[in-house]
Amino acid sequence: MQNLFSTRPNEAPWWRDALIYQVYVRSFADSNGDGIGDLPGVRAKLDYLSGLGIDALWLTPFFPSPQADGGYDVSDYRDVDPMYGTLADFRQLLDAAHERNIRMIVDIVPNHCSDQHPDFQAALAAGPGSPEREKFIFRNGGGENGELPPSDWQSKFGGPAWERVPDGQWYMHIFSREQPDFNWHHPEVRADFERTLRFWSDLGVDGFRIDVAHGLMKDLDLPLRNTFGADSAPLLSPPDGQDHPFWDRDEVHGVYRQWRKILDEYDPPRLAVAEAGVSLERLPMYVRRDELDQAFNFFYLRCPWDRDAFRTVIDAALAGVAKVDAATSWVLSNHDVVRHRTRYGLPAGTDLLRWLATGGTHPVPDDAAGRRRARASLLLTLSLPGAAYLYQGEELGLPEVPDLPAASLRDPIFERTGGTEKGRDGCRVPIPWDAAAPGLGFTDGVPWLPHPRDWSKYAASEQEHDAGSFLTLYRQAAAARRRMLASSPGPHISWQDFGENVLAFRRGRLLCLLNFGPDELPLPAGEVLLASEPGISSVLGTDESAWLLVP
């Protein structure tokens, strides 16, 4: 099937060096005053997004869902939740995005569904031993009367990964109890997801983000094997070579080989990007030629503010994908982690979960450092070879909100840990658009998470015409990146030596410099294309970066 983006022969796929913007739909823009962002709200902001210079949008799940986990609990994979609009709204948004040359990626959640999904409801009703239960992971419990969970498997959101139902059986859920895991050994489960990929591809979406891509296949041989090691850290993966009962099992690649065939039925082939919390060694397996296209580079996201650490992560990521002739991706924030402006203001090694538990008070982040580093890191991210993912609001320099009132928290992590973990709501606070409007222009009603009192200062309206704002820097960087890519700089970088505190590399004629050290760095000869702070022309201070055009 052709569309206006059909690829010409020998053309690199559009996503290789794409700039992709993540929209957390619930928190982006509300069109009808119910306090919740929606699809018409996203459409109303397309000119803003186009002005930002992005190539694609990734929308977090907007499918029918009871919202037990912000929509990652899907009850119908091929429709739109009325809270977010209608399928007609989605089509309009897609067309309007395509008219502006913006591609659209939707978020597929194959590991689990909602406990309200008709298949799960049917499984509950049909009882133990029924074919309906086969689509999920039901087991009898341990102990004398089956009163113990079938294995030691733990939910990533706290507590056991098993929930008991009234007839005595238990079902598995890696996440909240409202998110039962599918049994991917079941042919109908596979067939149904293939229908879902085709449904959205036929509608014209350009790609898919695959949620928890490394978790689909479980070792269900009886007796169920226990896990090893603590498994509570987000995205923790088993040490290499260990055969974990549900993370990163080799069989999962069979699913993606099958999906590749479907994605390739379209012109251009649909993109698939994996959220896979696996080791750097194993991550390239997910982007082999006959599997998915990209995987999020969470090693980059987790990298401490340290020159050598960045260099190590960048080298390892580039070497990993080179082995399989793929491109890597770069990401610093998303809807699951503390925003990077805030992370970079915290002392190295801060335990973020504990920091959140203190309401963000111990320690207090150094906001000036966080601000400088967030700006400096943008130039690094946007000059590296591969796709870059931005998370909504980082272009406004939004910080984490660690002190939301407990009554407004919605992340299931908060409830499942009995309140000991705050969860991820602090990076999901709605976007401040307009400093002067009630609801900061996000909504005419009451936003689903409250805005901190001082957030009008981050509003897009305030940054629009400010030469020193985050928004201006993001626009300039995206435009400069586009010009740089037009000169076909290729997928390689070469490190340059500017002393032990400076990260420096060339990509084509671009020289990217980031000064991690305390001393000023005199800039070498060359034209300064862009710097992380306005007015930089001859020296880079601490935590500042620049792009130079060199001969």
Q: Which residues does the annotation mark as catalytic? A: 211, 265
Following DSSP, what letter does each residue of 219-257 receive, concatenated? --PSSPPP--S---STT--PPTT---SSSS-TTHHHHHH
Report the partner that residue 378 touches, choosing among ligand GLC, Ca ion, none (CB closer than 5 to 8 A by kind): none
19-48 footprint of Ca ion as x/- string (CB under 5 A): -----------x-x-x-x-x----------
Q: Check residue 30 and give left, alpha or beta (phi > 0: left; psi -120 to 50: alpha).
A: beta
Report the partner that residue 175 touches, choosing among Ca ion, ligand GLC, none (CB closer than 5 to 8 A by kind): ligand GLC
Q: How far is CA 478 from CA 21, 492, 530, in A?
A: 12, 19, 11
Cα 98-103-104 angle, rounded to 5 deg:
105
Query: What span, in angstroms and rounded, lies between the C-alpha atoms of 353 and 388?
Result: 26
206 binds Ca ion (CB under 5 A): no
Q: Give the CB-nearest residue to Ca ion.
A: 38
Q: How far is the CB of 413 from ligand GLC (least distance, A)?
A: 8
Query: What span, in angstroms and rounded, lies between the C-alpha atoms of 200 and 207?
Result: 9
Q: How far is the CB of 335 from ligand GLC (least distance, A)?
A: 6
Q: How far is the CB of 419 from ligand GLC (least distance, A)?
A: 18
Strand partners, 182: 136
Following DSSP, what letter does each residue of 507-535 receive, concatenated? ETTEEEEEE-SSS-EE--SSEEEEESSTT
Q: How far is the CB of 111 from ligand GLC (least distance, A)?
A: 7
Helices 87-99 & 187-203 angle (0-180, nearest 10) = 50
Q: How far is CA 44 from CA 23, 96, 433, 434, in A?
A: 13, 10, 12, 14
Report the partner that residue 32 touches, choosing among ligand GLC, Ca ion, none (CB closer than 5 to 8 A by kind): Ca ion
Residue 20 or 109 with smaller CB distance to ligand GLC: 109
175 binds ligand GLC (CB under 6 A): yes
Residue 40 or 61 with smaller CB distance to ligand GLC: 61
163 binds Ca ion (CB under 5 A): no
The secondary element (H helix, E strand) that includes residue 89 is: helix 87-99
Report the partner that residue 69 touches, choosing among Ca ion, ligand GLC, none (CB closer than 5 to 8 A by kind): ligand GLC
Nearest to 211 by CA among 416, 61, 389: 61
Report the partner that residue 231 touches, choosing among ligand GLC, Ca ion, none (CB closer than 5 to 8 A by kind): none
Q: Where are the beta strands (DSSP E) in 177-327?
A: 207-210, 271-274, 294-295
Residue 35 or 146 with smaller CB distance to Ca ion: 35
Site for Ca ion in 449-468 (CB under 5 A): none
Cβ atoms 384, 18 nearer than 8 A: no
Report the partner that residue 211 touches, choosing among Ca ion, ligand GLC, none (CB closer than 5 to 8 A by kind): ligand GLC
Instruction: Name the DSSP letter for residue 160.
Output: B
Of the candidates 55, 81, 336, 425, which one interacts with ligand GLC according to CB under 6 A?
A: 336
Residue 283 corresponds to which tokens in the numbers above?
């991550």
Residue 173 or 373 with smaller CB distance to ligand GLC: 173
109 binds ligand GLC (CB under 6 A): yes
Locus of tokens 């031993």: 129
Q: How far is the CB of 220 from Ca ion (least distance, A)?
A: 41
Query: What span, in angstroms and rounded, lies between the C-alpha atoms of 494 and 507?
Result: 7
Residue type, 168: G
Residue 65 corresponds to which tokens in the numbers above?
């869902």
Q: How far is the CB of 440 from Ca ion (least distance, A)?
A: 15
Q: How far is the CB of 112 from ligand GLC (least distance, A)?
A: 7
Helices 470-486 & 367-383 angle (0-180, nearest 10) = 20
115 binds ligand GLC (CB under 6 A): no
Query: What span, in angstroms and rounded, lies between the C-alpha atoms of 52 and 66?
Result: 33
204-243 footprint of ligand GLC as x/- string (CB under 6 A): -------xx-------------------------------
Query: What span, in angstroms and rounded, lies between the C-alpha atoms of 219 and 21?
Result: 35
Report the partner that residue 17 touches, choosing among Ca ion, ligand GLC, none (CB closer than 5 to 8 A by kind): none
40-69 footprint of ligand GLC as x/- string (CB under 6 A): -----------------------------x
Q: How far is the CB of 336 from ligand GLC (least distance, A)?
A: 5
421 binds ligand GLC (CB under 6 A): no
Task: State the CB neighbour count (10 A cutoff) for residue 194.
Answer: 15
Cβ atoms 398, 451 nearer than 8 A: no
Report the partner that residue 178 touches, choosing among Ca ion, ligand GLC, none (CB closer than 5 to 8 A by kind): none
Report the partner that residue 338 touches, choosing among Ca ion, ligand GLC, none (CB closer than 5 to 8 A by kind): none
253-292 footprint of ligand GLC as x/- string (CB under 6 A): ----------------------x-----------------
Q: Cα–chain-centroid distance for residue 510?
A: 28
- Residues interacting with Ca ion, by CB under 5 A? 30, 32, 34, 36, 38
- Residues interacting with ligand GLC, by CB under 6 A? 69, 72, 109, 175, 211-212, 275, 335-336
